[in-house]
Amino acid sequence: MKAFGARLEEAMSTHGPLCAGIDPHRGLVESWGLTYDLAGLERFALTCVEAFAGRVAVVKPQSAFFEVFGSRGVAVLERVLRELGEAGTLTILDAKRGDIGSTMTAYAEAFLGKDAVAPPDALTVSPFLGYESLRPAIDLAQQTGRGLFVLALTSNPEGRGVQHAVRDGESVAASVVRGAAGDNASARARGELGSIGLVIGATVGSAVDDLGLDLVGAATPVLAPGVGAQGGTPESLEATFGAARHQVLASSSREILAAGPEPARLAAQAVRVAESLPRR
Ligand SMILES: O=C(O)c1cc(=O)[nH]c(=O)n1[C@@H]1O[C@H](COP(=O)(O)O)[C@@H](O)[C@H]1O
């Protein structure tokens, strides 16, 4: 399998740089006229698969909204990942895992390993136990052609207190970017995007500049959640990411999902948002 970074670049140039989120929270499920139970979850999630497969670059299911229904909810999530994979649409599983040592190794094997039950193409991970604590996942992703998106500057305002903190002249966010740059070095040498991406919210304003983050030099794909419901716009993406905007995969959930439950309207809304985004 080709490396995730290369597959992502292809998908973004074919479909536009949009990641459509599947976030079946109670309010949205009920707004589609469905009951908020396992059957409603399944109907919601499979409608999203029908609408998004083959139409957007990437689909990102939010694990929490499946886990809330226990093992049967997780089985629905696995079906979503499998069906999107069979349709050739890239998936990012948003599970924000992060731990140490043998526990991180087990998370890596669960989501990225060759024997994983329903592996996504990439996984979101948290580096706040230290970037190097993610090493088992970084190494396994590189071996299996999968990717990671490492939290760097999250879209929520509370993130600043941790992520902007400075030690020895370097912010926490900049140290995460430095880590990803090291792991993307060989892709950068080939002029490609690496497979170790970063999560930087579409709502972070001037923080990328203020903290001196060299995203172009890091050759890192950037997942930018917060487009739509959290206030991020195509214009704010241009302003926030500047020269790195072509590396950005904008992520939007509620703004697209509000167009359901009719699959054709949902698909049309996703395509509309994708077409509004900055492209190469
Ligand atoms: O990793 C993420 O996707 C993520 C990171 C972040 O900084 N902010 C953020 O909102 N997200 C996720 O993006 C989704 C929110 O999408 P909206 O409904 O478009 O606001 C949720 O699944 C969040 O967990």
pLDDT-derived band at 278 (thresholds 50, 70, 90) equals confident
Ramachandran quadrant class, 231 (left: phi over 0; alpha: psi -120 to 50; beta: rest): left
Cα 168 to middle of ligand 1, angstroms:
30
What Å distances lie between residue 71 and 23, 33, 117, CA to CA? 17, 24, 13
pTM, whole model, 2 decimals? 0.98
Cα 125 to middle of ligand 1, angstroms:
13
Instruction: Look at strands 166-167 and 170-171 and give their pairing.
Output: antiparallel
Phi, psi (rounded to 5 degrees) for 7: -65, -35
pLDDT at res. 3: 97
Atom of ligand 1 nearest to the CA of 155: 7
Choice among 2, 60, 96, 114 that is catalytic: 96
pLDDT at res. 105: 98
* Integer Cα distance of 143 and 140 in angstroms: 5
60 given a catalytic annotation: no
| Residues 42-52 pLDDT 10s | 999 999 999 99
| Residues 98-138 pLDDT 10s | 999 999 999 999 999 999 999 999 999 999 999 999 999 99
Q: From 3.60.15.10, 3.40.50.11690, 3.40.50.720, 3.20.20.70, which CATH number describes the 4-12+61-247 domain? A: 3.20.20.70
Largest interatomic CA distance in the chain: 54
pLDDT at 279 over 80: no
What rounded mean pLDDT belongs to the chain? 97
* Integer Cα distance of 246 and 251 in angstroms: 14
Atom of ligand 1 nearest to the CA of 228: 19
ipTM of model: 0.97
Structural domain boundaries of the chain?
4-12+61-247
| Residues 204-242 pLDDT 10s | 999 999 999 999 999 999 999 999 999 999 999 999 999
Closest CA to 172 of 223, 226, 201, 213: 213
Residue 199 near ligand 1, beta carbon < 6 Å: yes
Residue 94 near ligand 1, beta carbon < 6 Å: yes
Atom of ligand 1 nearest to the CA of 255: 19
| Residues 166-216 pLDDT 10s | 999 999 999 999 999 999 999 999 999 999 999 999 999 999 999 999 999
Residue whose CA is at the smallest distance from ligand 1 atom 2: 225
